[in-house]
Chains A and B, each alone.
Chain A
Amino acid sequence: MKFLVCISNVPDTTTKIAFTPDNKEFNKAGVQFVINPWDEYALTRAIELKEAQGGGTVTVLNVGEADTEPNIRKALAIGADDAIRVNAHPKDAFFVAQQIASIAKDGGYDVILMGKESIDYNGFQVHGMVGELLGIPTVAPAMKLDLSGNTATLEREIEGGKEIVEVNTPFVASCQQPMCEPRIPNMRGIMTARTKPLKVVEATADAARTEVAAFALPPQKQGVKLIPAESAGDLIRLLRNEAKVI
């Protein structure tokens, strides 16, 4: 079975967010980038399923410029077999989805996995767009994924519960907890990752449909109002009379 796992390159989860002076771009200066945490679930589950089947391939795909390669290599070190980088700035979800669909169309992949969203743009869009562009089902967000032959059984989160869904390959799923325990690379993986193939292809000419006019930080909090523990009940009166939330 051929797995395609799409990963994003995102600022480390503890990064203090700042923007360029024109507020149009995230300020990357001094920021550590990581594989999008949601995508790590997709990557690890694909590797687990491949191992369980005793064969197949896991290809990692990233739409990004050359500075994303350390994290692509990390994905190879975790256990992916090969990688493709679409050499382009990921303009918006539509642009990225078109690149993924274009690669997937030619690659004959059975299962396309990715995280439910990226922790920087929080779009929750790419998986659905890819599914629609390819004319195959999308299951999002998936909390569990098992394969039996060409049939996949997934648990999909809905508000207040879950749906158990069966689909045939090929399909797209976006992944989230508690799908698996994301793996970290071991020394052997890091060594072998250096020699695994990483193909760089140019983007298709398709345009984006959205553009960020400006980023902004939320207003600063006014500061905490502390209530003595011994008169904790006063808090409830403040929440009703002052904050008016209960």
Chain B
Amino acid sequence: MSVLVVVECDGGEVKKSSLEVASYGSQVAQMLGTTATAVAVGEATEANLAQLGEQGITKVLHDAEPRLKDFVNGAYTKLIAAAAQKEDAKIIVLANSNIGASVGSRLSIRLQASIATNVVELPKIDGGSFTVKRGAFSGKAFADVKLDGDRKIIAVKKNSIEALHEAGKTAQVEAFSAQLSDADFADAPKQVVMQDQAGGILLPEADLVVSGGRGMKGPENWNLIEELAKALGAATACSKPVSDVDWRPHHEHVGQTGITVSPNLYIACGISGAIQHLAGVNSSKVIVVINKDPEAPFFKAADYGIVGDVFDVLPKLTQAVKELN
């Protein structure tokens, strides 16, 4: 009996959200008096996988099949299920990412497991009862969910768990083959297209986000957002009306029907704060709102605010960041 952690890798590196997932899994293992094993998906290097020891992982299973570099739902599901069987894993922990949630839901049927996604805290384990806290109602509420049965799958929301860093500890990396066949790759992508990201920072993984709304008045003014984001090392984002009129691409749209983010810092520039936008950002640790309308509803959800013109304020903020750096 063990805890199995699914670690997503990209370009050889373990994703930040997977360091959090590994930390979550190893703490659950400790609560249950067992160990946590990871199974790696994506392109991974042995050295980076061994470093998962810092997050409390004792062993990493790695299938070096090259077609696993890109996400393939069928193959990933089979691989993780095989790893879960091998380790007799009763708890499987994944990231609440597009990969984690897609695979997790299929796995829950294949392994006859209960599942909770969007989980924000370590579980409460009391005798036979196993309860996790998850976000609900688009971030406007939380639900304590009891997971039934022998096997449980938990998808952890990004930035909800602090990643552990026990320097010097390493995990043993073990070659693993799930005996994948061509049929398992029936839904393999024909093409993978990566988007241009400001400063190379992926919005769903970002710790810091600078976001613009209609108050930016046009795409030609986005350099002000990008300059502040670059100075901070932040990702850029936008509100729905902005992506609807094609000022910015869809993959930057944050909100109820866009991407949900939970960074440490969300800076909203010229965004009034419609309830649908708030639903996508209200689990951010700190929210800053810059808007010339003092009545903008976003100020009610903000920790810090500046009532002022974004065209005056943003250059001052960029300058202040540069001075601080």
The reply to whether the CB of A177 lies closer than 8 angstroms to some CB of chain B is yes
A132 and B97 CA atoms in complex are apart in Å by 19
The reply to whether the CB of B50 lies closer than 8 angstroms to some CB of chain A is no
**Pairwise interchain contact A225-B141, C-beta atoms closer than 8 A:** no
- Chain B interface SS verdict (over half): mixed
The residue that A218 contacts in the complex, of B15, B208, B282, with Cβ under 8 A, is B282
Given A17-B137, A159-B202, A239-B265, A93 contacting B189 (CB threshold 8 A): no
A231 and B106 CA atoms in complex are apart in Å by 53
Interface size class of A (residues with CB under 8 A): 35 or more
**Pairwise interchain contact B101-A236, C-beta atoms closer than 8 A:** no
The residue that B306 contacts in the complex, of A126, A214, A235, with Cβ under 8 A, is A235
The residue that B104 contacts in the complex, of A128, A167, A209, A229, with Cβ under 8 A, is A128
**Pairwise interchain contact B306-A226, C-beta atoms closer than 8 A:** yes
Q: Which residues of B contact A239 (CB under 8 A)?
A: 265, 286, 288, 304
The residue that B276 contacts in the complex, of A13, A157, A209, with Cβ under 8 A, is A13
The residue that B304 contacts in the complex, of A19, A164, A213, A225, with Cβ under 8 A, is A225
**Pairwise interchain contact A245-B256, C-beta atoms closer than 8 A:** no
**Pairwise interchain contact B275-A210, C-beta atoms closer than 8 A:** no
Given A17-B137, A236-B321, A222 contacting B303 (CB threshold 8 A): yes
Q: Which residues of A contact B70 (CB under 8 A)?
A: 163
The reply to whether the CB of B67 lies closer than 8 angstroms to some CB of chain A is no
The reply to whether the CB of B193 lies closer than 8 angstroms to some CB of chain A is yes
Stretch at the interface among B53-61, B211-219, B310-318: B310-318
**Pairwise interchain contact B250-A143, C-beta atoms closer than 8 A:** yes
The reply to whether the CB of B175 lies closer than 8 angstroms to some CB of chain A is no
A221 and B108 CA atoms in complex are apart in Å by 36
Q: Which residues of A contact B316 (CB under 8 A)?
A: 232-233
Q: Which of A144-197 contact B (CB under 8 A)?
A: 156-167, 176-178
Chain B window 276-320, contacts with chain A (Cβ cutoff 8 Å), 1 for yes, 0 for no = 100100110110110000000001111111111100110011011
Given A129-B108, A131-B106, A160 contacting B304 (CB threshold 8 A): no
**Pairwise interchain contact A238-B143, C-beta atoms closer than 8 A:** no
Stretch at the interface among B32-40, B109-117, B160-168: B109-117
The reply to whether the CB of A125 lies closer than 8 angstroms to some CB of chain B is yes
**Pairwise interchain contact B141-A140, C-beta atoms closer than 8 A:** no
A212 and B147 CA atoms in complex are apart in Å by 9
- Chain A interface SS verdict (over half): mixed
The reply to whether the CB of B88 lies closer than 8 angstroms to some CB of chain A is no
Q: Which residues of A contact B71 (CB under 8 A)?
A: 158, 163
The reply to whether the CB of B103 lies closer than 8 angstroms to some CB of chain A is yes
Q: Which residues of B contact A238 (CB under 8 A)?
A: 304
The residue that B105 contacts in the complex, of A38, A125, A210, A234, with Cβ under 8 A, is A125
User: Which B residue's beta carbon lies closest to that of A233?
Assistant: B320
A181 and B265 CA atoms in complex are apart in Å by 32
Stretch at the interface among A43-51, A74-82, A115-123: A115-123
**Pairwise interchain contact A17-B141, C-beta atoms closer than 8 A:** yes
User: Which A residue's beta carbon lies closest to that of B274?
Assistant: A14
The reply to whether the CB of A37 lies closer than 8 angstroms to some CB of chain B is yes
**Pairwise interchain contact A209-B115, C-beta atoms closer than 8 A:** yes
The reply to whether the CB of B230 lies closer than 8 angstroms to some CB of chain A is no
Q: Mind listing 16 A-B residue pairs with CB under 8 Å?
A: A37-B257, A93-B105, A122-B117, A122-B137, A124-B102, A124-B117, A138-B106, A140-B98, A156-B189, A159-B15, A209-B147, A210-B145, A215-B142, A227-B305, A229-B309, A237-B324
Q: Across the A-B interface, give the 9 residue pairs with the lowest CB-CB distance, nearest first.
A: A128-B105, A229-B308, A233-B320, A163-B189, A209-B114, A132-B109, A161-B194, A236-B320, A232-B316
Binding site for B on A (CB under 8 A): 11, 13-14, 17, 19, 26, 37-38, 93-94, 97, 119-129, 131-133, 137-141, 143, 156-167, 176-178, 208-218, 221-222, 224-229, 232-240, 243, 245-246
